[in-house]
């Protein structure tokens, strides 16, 4: 029978010798041979048991629970448990990526954000509450309209060209306002035209949905419930006036 030292096992499994010694001390994986000087010698069977422990540990199972079930769980069950953990990890990563994109887009719009906004990046679930959004969407829109919005509405957590168009539009409005351009100025009228073009694209030409959405957008409470970026009220008022002027000229 071939034996392996603690160091050889640690290298083979890419874990520390301290971890191996700890598992021995709690009776989780005890080596076949341990001499009077404390030298441990592990067999292939011991190494397989260690691998089993490491796989179960990767599923966030506690060592106490592993110790209780290590000799009862089958290889198939271990693989199934591992698969479920991987699926959970994928969902956590998707949520973290979405939140990160949201922060990047917010920084593009606002120039900076409080450092506290970064704290959810170390959380497994940056934003898990969708109940308010579902309620307000059901209240304001019919199923067909909700589907259009779900597919076309620019999302802060997205990295698409769609959200970038709207971010650039808001920045252009801010720049026009800061420059002192009135809503009837040439610059503001170009912005109004671009806004109408983007809106037509976003709402699939559904003018009734477009009207309902922009009414909801003007409500701070509805916008928050729908998880829309909190655009400053002065920007929306400026855009409203610019579009009104644009429509008057072309009436």
Model confidence pTM above 0.75: no
133 and 245 assigned to the same domain: yes
Residue range of the domain that includes 158: 129-249
Q: Which pLDDT score, from 0 to 100, does residue 118 have?
A: 59
143 and 245 assigned to the same domain: yes
143 and 225 assigned to the same domain: yes
Of 96, 112, 127, the last residue of a domain is 127
147 and 112 assigned to the same domain: no
237 and 144 assigned to the same domain: yes
How many domains does the chain fold into?
3
SS in 3 state form for 28-71? Answer: CCCCCEECCCCCEEECHHHHHHHHHHHHHHCCCCCHHHHHHHCC
Q: Which pLDDT score, from 0 to 100, does residue 84 have?
A: 84
105 and 169 assigned to the same domain: no
123 and 133 assigned to the same domain: no
Q: Which pLDDT score, from 0 to 100, does residue 102 have?
A: 78
Vertex 93: Cα angle to 91 and 99 (nearest 5): 105
206 and 219 assigned to the same domain: yes
134 and 123 assigned to the same domain: no
159 and 116 assigned to the same domain: no
Q: What are phi and psi of 35, to 5 degrees?
A: -80, 180
Of 15, 50, 67, the last residue of a domain is 67
Taking only the tens of pLDDT, the chain with its 251 residues reads 788 999 999 999 999 999 999 999 999 999 988 877 778 999 999 999 999 899 888 887 888 888 888 888 787 888 888 888 888 888 888 888 887 887 788 787 777 666 555 555 555 444 545 677 778 788 888 888 888 888 887 777 777 888 888 888 889 999 999 999 999 999 999 999 999 998 888 888 888 888 888 888 877 777 777 777 777 888 889 999 999 999 988 87
Q: Which pLDDT score, from 0 to 100, does residue 230 have?
A: 73
242 and 142 assigned to the same domain: yes
> Which of 175, 197, 195, 171 lies closest to 106, judged by CA?
171
What residues form DSSP beta bridges with 34?
40
44 and 13 assigned to the same domain: yes
> Which of 220, 229, 206 lies closest to 142, judged by CA?
206
């Amino acid at each position: 029978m071939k034996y392996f030292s603690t160091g050889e096992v640690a290298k083979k499994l890419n874990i520390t010798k301290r971890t191996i010694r700890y598992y021995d001390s709690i009776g989780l994986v005890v080596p076949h041979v341990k001499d009077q000087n404390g030298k441990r010698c592990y067999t292939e069977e011991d190494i397989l048991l260690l691998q089993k422990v490491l796989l179960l540990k990767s599923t966030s199972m506690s060592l106490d629970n592993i110790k209780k079930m290590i000799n009862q769980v089958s290889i198939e069950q271990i693989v199934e448990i591992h698969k479920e953990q991987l699926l959970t990890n994928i969902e956590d990563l998707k949520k973290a990526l979405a939140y990160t994109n949201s922060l990047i887009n917010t920084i593009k719009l606002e120039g900076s954000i409080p450092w506290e906004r970064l704290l959810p990046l170390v959380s497994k679930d940056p934003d898990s509450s969708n109940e308010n959004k579902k309620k307000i969407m059901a209240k304001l829109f019919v199923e067909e309209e909700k589907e259009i919005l779900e597919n076309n509405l620019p999302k802060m957590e997205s990295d698409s060209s769609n959200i970038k168009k709207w971010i650039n539009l808001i920045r252009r409005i801010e720049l026009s306002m800061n420059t002192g351009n009135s809503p009837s100025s040439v610059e503001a009228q170009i912005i109004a035209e671009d806004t109408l073009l983007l809106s037509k694209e976003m709402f699939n030409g559904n003018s009734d949905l477009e009207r309902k959405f922009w009414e909801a957008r003007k409500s701070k409470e509805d916008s928050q419930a729908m998880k829309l970026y909190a655009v400053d009220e002065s920007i929306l008022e400026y855009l409203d006036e610019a579009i009104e002027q644009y429509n008057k000229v072309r009436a």
